[in-house]
Amino acid sequence: MHIGLIFPNKDRRYKTVHLGLGYLAAYARLRHPETTFHLLDTRVATRKESRKFFSGSFDLVAMTVFSPVYSETRSILERLRNEMPQTPVCLGGPYVTTIGGEIFSETPAEYAIIGEGEITFSELITCLKGEKQRTDIAGLMFRDENDTIVINPPREQIADLDSLPFPAYDLFPMDRYPLHRMVTTRGCPYGCAWCNSSSIWGRTYRSRSPENIVAEIEFLLNRYGQKIFVFGDNSFNIEAARVGALCDLLIRKDIRILWSASVRADLMTLDLAHKMKAAGCYNAAIGVESADNELLARMHKNTTIEAIAAGMTMLKNAGIEVLAQYVIGTPGETLETVKRSVEFARRSCADYTNFYMVLPFRGTPQWDYVMDHGTLYTKKIHDFHRINPRIVFETPEFTYQDRLEAIRLVKKNGFYSNKDKKSILFDMAKDFSRWVRNILPQGAGDKVFMLLKSVYRLREIKKNNI
Burial class (CB in 10 A: 0-12, 13-18, 19+), 175: exposed
9 plus 115 within the same structural domain: yes
222 plus 357 within the same structural domain: yes
209 plus 136 within the same structural domain: no
Q: What is the pLDDT of residue 466?
A: 47
Tell me if 430 is assigned to some domain. Answer: no
Q: What is the CATH number of the domain that holds 279?
A: 3.20.20.70
Q: What is the pLDDT of residue 119?
A: 98
Q: What is the pLDDT of residues 64-88, one digit of tens each?
A: 998 888 999 999 999 999 999 999 9
Domain count, the chain: 2
Tell me if 73 is assigned to some domain. Answer: yes
The answer to whether residue 197 scores a pLDDT higher than 70 is: yes
188 plus 254 within the same structural domain: yes
The answer to whether residue 290 scores a pLDDT higher than 50 is: yes
Strand partners, 3: 37, 60
Contact 158, 206 (CB under 8 A): yes
Three-class HEC string of the chain: CEEEEEECCCCECCCCCCHHHHHHHHHHHHHCCCCEEEEEECCCCCHHHHHHHHCCCCCEEEEECCHHHHHHHHHHHHHHHHHCCCCCEEEECHHHHHHHHHHHHHCCCCEEECCCCHHHHHHHHHHHCCCCCHHHCCCEEEECCCCCEEECCCCCCCCCHHHCCCCCHHHCCHHHCCEEEECCEEECCCCCCCCCHHHHHCCCEEECCHHHHHHHHHHHHHHHCCCEEEECCCCCCCCHHHHHHHHHHHHHCCCCCCEEEEECHHHCCHHHHHHHHHCCEEEEEEEEECCCHHHHHHCCCCCCHHHHHHHHHHHHHCCCEEEEEEEECCCCCCHHHHHHHHHHHHHCCCCEEEEEECCCCCCCHHHHHHHHHCEECCCCHHHHHHCCCCCCEEECCECHHHHHHHHHHHHHCCCECCCCECCHHHHHHHHHHHHHHHHCCHHHHHHHHHHHHHHHHHHHHHHHCC
Contact 137, 123 (CB under 8 A): yes
Q: Which residue, of 116, 151, 186, is where some domain finishes?
A: 151
102 plus 203 within the same structural domain: no
Sign of the CA dihedral with 462 first, then 463, 465, and 466 last: positive
Q: What is the pLDDT of residue 424?
A: 78
195 plus 54 within the same structural domain: no
Q: What is the pLDDT of residues 432-446, one digit of tens each?
A: 777 776 777 767 667
121 plus 186 within the same structural domain: no
Tell me if 131 is assigned to some domain. Answer: yes
Give the pLDDT mean for 143-148.
91
Q: What is the pLDDT of residue 305?
A: 98
Give residue 147's domain range. Answer: 2-151
Give the pLDDT mean for 144-152.
93
Q: Residue 324's Cα: distance from chain center in Å?
A: 17
90 plus 22 within the same structural domain: yes
190 plus 323 within the same structural domain: yes
The answer to whether residue 453 scores a pLDDT higher than 80 is: no
Q: Which residues contact 69 (CB under 8 A, 6 or more apart)?
A: 8, 9, 10, 11, 12
Tell me if 449 is assigned to some domain. Answer: no
89 plus 130 within the same structural domain: yes
The answer to whether residue 413 scores a pLDDT higher than 60 is: yes
How would you classify the pairing of strands 149-151 and 140-143?
Answer: antiparallel
Strand partners, 92: 64
330 plus 387 within the same structural domain: yes
Q: Residue 304's Cα: distance from chain center in Å?
A: 25
